[in-house]
Amino acid sequence: MRFPICIAVGCLLLLHGCKPKEEAMLDVIQRSMNVAIQQSKAMANVLNVSDTILPRSIDPSTGALVTSNSRWWCSGFYPGTLWFLYEYSQDSVLRVLAEQYTARIEREKFTTDNHDVGFMLYCSFGNGLRLTGNKSYPEVLSTGSKSLASRFNPKVGLIRSWDFNKDKWQYPVIIDNMMNLGLLMWKFKNSGD
């Protein structure tokens, strides 16, 4: 009789000992942010082969990094991520990287052929300005907001998303336009325009 009880108690102790420890949420967040910082720095090292490329995706068939130039509609996301990681960590290396990769998309301030200027510039230059007060960033944001506003049609009352497929679409507007409004709101707040 003692043997089965010992086995049962032993099994319970074993099962209880195998139960994973619950990790405090702040520890999970900190561990995750540390991985994000490490991976973002590693990404920057890979991208240093050229001063014009930015990350785009990972090719699922090869696992290779796919890059783009600043013209890709998500080009501001990586610099924006670097700014957010800098804000979290106050790591000066991240600030330098954020400045470096933000500069790679400055030419997009003149983009007038699509609505993605807000994605490109406000994630990068907007966060950079918010966190550093860099005196050159307002000009980029101001010029970019004028470029974006050039897509507004007062008769329609909307910003046109794209110019292609004019034979199919009269005036394409997609939900992504909402994210681009932050750039226009910044311009209004800082100039009244």
Cα–Cα distance measured from residue 93 to residue 100, given in angstroms and rounded to the nearest whole number: 11
Catalytic: 59? no
Are 185 and 149 within 8 A, CB to CB?
no
Q: Which residue has the tokens 């990094």?
A: 65
Catalytic residue among 51, 163, 176, 193: 176
Catalytic: 176? yes
DSSP states of 120-171 as a string?
HHIIIIIHHHHHH--TTHHHHHHHHHHHHHTTEETTTTEE--BSS-TTT-SS
Catalytic residue among 27, 116, 163, 167: 116
Which residues are catalytically annotated?
Answer: 116, 176
